[in-house]
Structure 1
Amino acid sequence: MSMNKDQRSAGFWLLAAFFAAFVFFLYGPMLVIVVLSFQGPEGGLTFPLRGFSLHWFGKLAEGLGVVDIGAALKRSLALGAAVMALTVLFSVLAGLAFRKKLAGGNTLFYVVVASLIMPSIIVSLGIGLEFRLIDSGLKWLLEALGMTSTLEEYGSSLGLFTSALGAHLTWTLPFGLLIMFAVFNRFNPAYEEAARDLGATPWQGFRHVVLPLIAPSIVGIGMFGFTLSWDEIARTSQAIGDVNTLPLELQGLTTTVTTPSIYALGTVTTVISLLVMALAIGLAWWLKQRQNKG
């Protein structure tokens, strides 16, 4: 072992130092925010650390001015769950469909993946404009039909589970689709053929053969869907309407809140992301172990 250490070149240590600097640059800011969020009542936004307590988490629970953090948190969780479910559903269905030769399949694939290279704010503006045009059309139709009471009560089609959901799916679906392509690219169809030879229907073959084999990957897609939606700002900003998700509220608070309570909010959102990732990894590991035992 000592000989191996002596034989390591200067290039190895240079790359090791570069990697350490990269990791520090990547996770250092998050660590700083977590540390500063546990300051005492006299704490500020910078070091040195003044005391150690949960004071600013208590202030966060009380609310930050006129911002309802609890409502924003619930909206983000609900939107993230919806995005996760739809990302998993559409990705699996698309992965199954693309296993066969599809007319126009290549064009459809590039159209879906193109949203990854489009500037996020442009996608958000386009979706917001699209739904405002829908609003104008619906209002014109209601007015033409003489439905004045419905017209007066109508607000906007922009919302959490309409335009914002669509905006987030333009970000999460390409990732889910690419994962499913990779999964089915190395999937052995002999398992399905054996199931058909034993009399299984297409649905039974999918339910009892394909689904258990791809389940760990589906969990990964779900994790991607939730975490990408949970942190999204640019694609949400112009497409959500009158309400805000937690990341948008957090962005707005950075210009008005001057206490470590903003760091406490950042710590809470980070912990939720890490919990979702840990749950997904644990579930994928359990499914893999169950698959190996089977």
Structure 2
Amino acid sequence: MREGRSLGFYLLAAFFAAYVLFLYGPMIVIFLLSFQGPTGGLTFPMAGFSLHWFGKLWEGGGIVDIGAAFRRSLALGLTVMVVTVVFSVLAGLGFRKKFRGQGLLFYTAIASLIVPSIITSLGIALMFRELDDFVKAYGPAWLTDGYTTSMGLFTSGLGAHLTWTLPFGLLIMFAIFNRFDARLEEAARDLGASPWQTFRYVVAPIILPSLIGVALFGFTLSWDEIARSSQAIGSYNTLPMELQALTTTVTTPQIYALGTTTTAVSFMVISVALLGIMYSRARQARKGSDAGKGLV
């Protein structure tokens, strides 16, 4: 028990420390430099400590409207989250029974995970351009007058993001329902519960932590997405695309403040999701304990 650590242990520890530093070091540097003073630049040493650049960020630097881009990304992320959760649950319930073409539908749904993101974005943009050409050529006058494009945040943009988030949600729900104990549903039906009551009072509470995980995937993947948005988002950029554009034009710590803000939103969503999972598990454990006391 008193023998010292081997040389291999220290080598592996040093390698792990270097890996963590390489992975999180740039992010930590950006966080620190975003709190530069008014005369600070893009590098160390820091010229004071203040929230000056966060204030400049939300004032708008005359280059882009960060506030509008933030609201667009937030609205799109929340929409993608809701749609991902709903479709993932419905697909998980549907795939519990065998049906013709099940395998083909499954592989089609997850194929977008292996297709390069930029190809998916280009394909969706091309499809909507063809739709625009068709509407302009054959659409009624009341529709074609003033018509520009059907591409937008909640049309082509939403579809592009769902090709990224839905496969993750589907895989999670398939794994959950594959090991779900169907006897619990049978017991609820034996007690006279309707299909909706069975889902609401039996299935949903059990799979709630997984639903929170799917929602987390849906929002965070949409919030940070650039490649699938690049060709299919329409005329208004999301916040990650604005951030990418600003890297070539902004030469002040304002760009670091924007990066810190977007990362803080991601961490906030992750924290809320973890708290929700902890609460749901504690609630289930409390109900189980109360049920056990009632039997006694």
Query: Which TM-score applies when normalising by structure 2?
Result: 0.94
Letter in 1 for 2:124: I
Partner of 2:275: 282
2:132 corresponds to which of 130, 135, 143: 135
How far apart, in 1, do the equivalents of 2:69 and 2:163 lie?
Answer: 22
How far apart, in 1, do the equivalents of 2:100 and 2:23 lie?
Answer: 43
Letter in 1 for 2:174: F
1:1-12 alignment runs, 5 A limit: 3=2, 6=3, 8-12=5-9
Partner of 2:102: 105
1:68 corresponds to which of 61, 65, 70: 65
1:42 corresponds to which of 39, 42, 61: 39
How far apart, in 2, do the equivalents of 1:121 and 1:170 lie?
Answer: 12
Q: Which moved more, 1:43-52 or 1:246-255?
A: 43-52
Q: Which moved more, 1:179-188 or 1:259-268?
A: 179-188
Query: Which TM-score applies when normalising by structure 1?
Result: 0.94
Partner of 2:227: 234
Partner of 2:293: none
How far apart, in 2, do the equivalents of 1:78 and 1:246 lie?
Answer: 11
Letter in 2 for 1:109: F
Residue 172 in 1 paired to residue 165 in 2? yes
1:120 corresponds to which of 117, 122, 130: 117
Displacement of 1:37 in angstroms is: 0.2
Cα RMSD (Å) of the superposition? Answer: 1.3
- For residues 161-212 of structure 1, what are the alpha-carbon distances to aligned partners after superposition, in whole Å with 9 as ceiling and x for unaligned? 0000000000000000111112112211121111122121222111110000
Letter in 2 for 1:287: S
Partner of 1:27: 24
Partner of 1:88: 85
Displacement of 1:274 in angstroms is: 0.6
1:147-226 alignment runs, 5 A limit: 147=141, 150-226=143-219
How far apart, in 2, do the equivalents of 1:221 and 1:161 lie?
Answer: 20
SS of structure 2 residue aligned to 1:164: helix
SS of structure 2 residue aligned to 1:172: helix
2:250 corresponds to which of 228, 250, 257: 257
Letter in 1 for 2:98: K
How far apart, in 1, do the equivalents of 2:14 and 2:95 lie?
Answer: 44
How far apart, in 1, do the equivalents of 2:229 and 2:164 lie?
Answer: 11
Give the number of aligned pairs. Answer: 287
- For residues 89-131 of structure 1, what are the alpha-carbon distances to aligned partners after superposition, in whole Å with 9 as ceiling and x for unaligned? 0001111111111211111111111101111011000000000
How far apart, in 2, do the equivalents of 1:252 and 1:86 lie?
Answer: 29
- For residues 249-282 of structure 1, what are the alpha-carbon distances to aligned partners after superposition, in whole Å with 9 as ceiling and x for unaligned? 0000000000000000001101111111101110
Displacement of 1:12 in angstroms is: 3.0
SS of structure 2 residue aligned to 1:153: coil
SS of structure 2 residue aligned to 1:237: coil
Residue 79 in 1 paired to residue 76 in 2? yes
Task: Name stretches of at least 5 consecutive residues in structure 1 with no aligned partner.
Answer: none
How far apart, in 2, do the equivalents of 1:66 and 1:35 lie?
Answer: 24
SS of structure 1 residue aligned to 2:228: helix
Displacement of 1:7 in angstroms is: 5.4
How far apart, in 2, do the equivalents of 1:99 and 1:11 lie?
Answer: 49
2:55 corresponds to which of 55, 58, 61: 58
How far apart, in 2, do the equivalents of 1:93 and 1:135 lie?
Answer: 31
SS of structure 2 residue aligned to 1:236: coil
1:273 corresponds to which of 257, 266, 273: 266
Letter in 1 for 2:111: A
SS of structure 2 residue aligned to 1:243: coil
How far apart, in 2, do the equivalents of 1:12 and 1:191 lie?
Answer: 48
How far apart, in 1, do the equivalents of 2:89 and 2:8 lie?
Answer: 44
SS of structure 2 residue aligned to 1:44: coil
